[in-house]
Amino acid sequence: QKQLENHLTSEPQPIGISNGFWFVVGGLTMNLPLEPWAVVFALRLLCAPLLLLVIYYLASRVFPDERVAATLFVSLASGMGSIMNRLIGMGPIDFNTPEASIANLFTAPPHLMVSTVLLVLSFWTFYLWRSTGSWRPLIGSAVFGLVLFAFHPYYALPVFSISAKYFIFKLSILEI
């Protein structure tokens, strides 16, 4: 019963809605001798290198000669939006949505970093399936997508629609 109590926020949560990521964070909070904010901060410190590693891996495959520069560019691009948002207040949606740029993610809750990692891995393994012809990356893409949808279900539409558009495009080329 104690695990189902909300220890991380003061907001009331509807019964029946559960998030696996925050369930694990709550379990860590109960079992570690740390305050909830310290556990969340520690997870942020652990998730940031994971995000940078995935970006670096992707950049090294796409831009093998400029992988460090590409990683820095992707990591710091659009960071000006968060600075402008703090200076002028509410701006366009890409300024105040942490997932719109990687630079904003480093100051956001860790589940946003994990969701971005899963999103990138889902698309990357889909690309690997297409380039190698092996079914293993496609299964990996599906698993990454399912884990992503478990705590960010609104990503289902973009991921499935982009994948479906790819298949429709490929079928239209085959028929021509």
Model pLDDT, residue 126: 83
Question: pLDDT by residue (tens digit) across 104-116?
Answer: 777 778 888 888 8
Which of 26-30, 72-76, 102-106 is predicted with the least confidence, judged by mean pLDDT? 102-106
* Own/partner pairs, 119-124, CB within 8 angstroms, 24+ separation: 119/148, 119/155, 119/159, 120/54, 120/55, 120/58, 121/54, 122/148, 122/159, 123/159, 123/162, 124/58
Residue with tokens 């297409």: 130
Residue with tokens 């310290």: 38
Please determine, for residue 63, whether its predicted confidence score (pLDDT) is greater than 70. yes
Distance of CA 78 to the CA centre of its chain: 16
Distance CA 116, CA 105 (A): 9
Please determine, for residue 93, whether its predicted confidence score (pLDDT) is greater than 60. no
Which pLDDT band, with edges at 50, 70 and 90, does 97 fall under?
Answer: low
Please determine, for residue 54, whether its predicted confidence score (pLDDT) is greater than 80. yes
Distance CA 21, CA 151 (A): 7
Q: For the chain, what is the mean pLDDT?
A: 77
Question: pLDDT by residue (tens digit) across 116-170?
Answer: 888 888 888 888 887 887 888 888 888 888 888 887 777 777 777 877 777 777 7
Model pLDDT, residue 141: 85
Which of 26-30, 52-56, 71-75 is predicted with the least confidence, judged by mean pLDDT? 71-75
Distance CA 151, CA 87 (A): 32
Q: Which residues contact 37 (CB under 8 A, 6 or more apart)?
A: none
Model pLDDT, residue 88: 62
Distance CA 90, CA 21 (A): 29
Which pLDDT band, with edges at 50, 70 and 90, does 14 fall under?
Answer: low
Which of 39-43, 59-63, 94-98 is predicted with the least confidence, judged by mean pLDDT? 94-98
Please determine, for residue 91, whether its predicted confidence score (pLDDT) is greater than 70. no
What is the DSSP code (8-state) at residue 174?
Answer: H
